[in-house]
Amino acid sequence: MSRSGNRLLLAATLVYLWGGLALDLVIAVLAWMHPQLWFGFFHAGTPQGLEIALLRRAAGQWAAFALAQAAALLWFRRAPVWLAIMAGIRFSDLFTDLFYLLAARPLTPHGWWVLAPLPLMNLGGVWLLLRCHAMMARTPRRGPKRKRVLAVASG
């Protein structure tokens, strides 16, 4: 891949990670703090007791995703394995998103508009993160420049 292609891949990865961090933070806070708003917006319904508990459980998962994405944003340049870790996390979320779409009925038009693209976005994110990880693993990293000390033989 060319140098400009590498920069584009890295930029897309950063956009994906920052976007995922923002999305996961927003939905975690919304689900935890305002479950009635969640159910009204996505399902046009009123939640029952156990539904709120399960939604708050999901909020904990989204908060964990946000924490992992923040860690990846901080450390992936020094340790590209963080991109592979995030790919695994996003891969697991692909299935929870699909199962939610299949099971959580009825969905409002807003619900379909917001939730239906998420499995594809996660699948694309898995591909993007793994591709960037492979690119970074192939690219030699430059460490800090060390001064060479020349030993001068006296004599």
pLDDT at 155 exceeding the cut of 70: no
pLDDT of residue 151: 47
Distance of CA 115 to the CA centre of its chain: 15
Mean pLDDT over all residues of the chain? 89
Phi and psi torsions of 143, nearest 5°: -85, 180
- Tell me: the pLDDT tens digits for 14-59? 999 999 999 999 999 999 999 999 999 999 888 888 899 999 999 9
Return all residues near 37 (Cβ < 8 A) that are at least 6 apart.
30
pLDDT at 146 exceeding the cut of 50: no
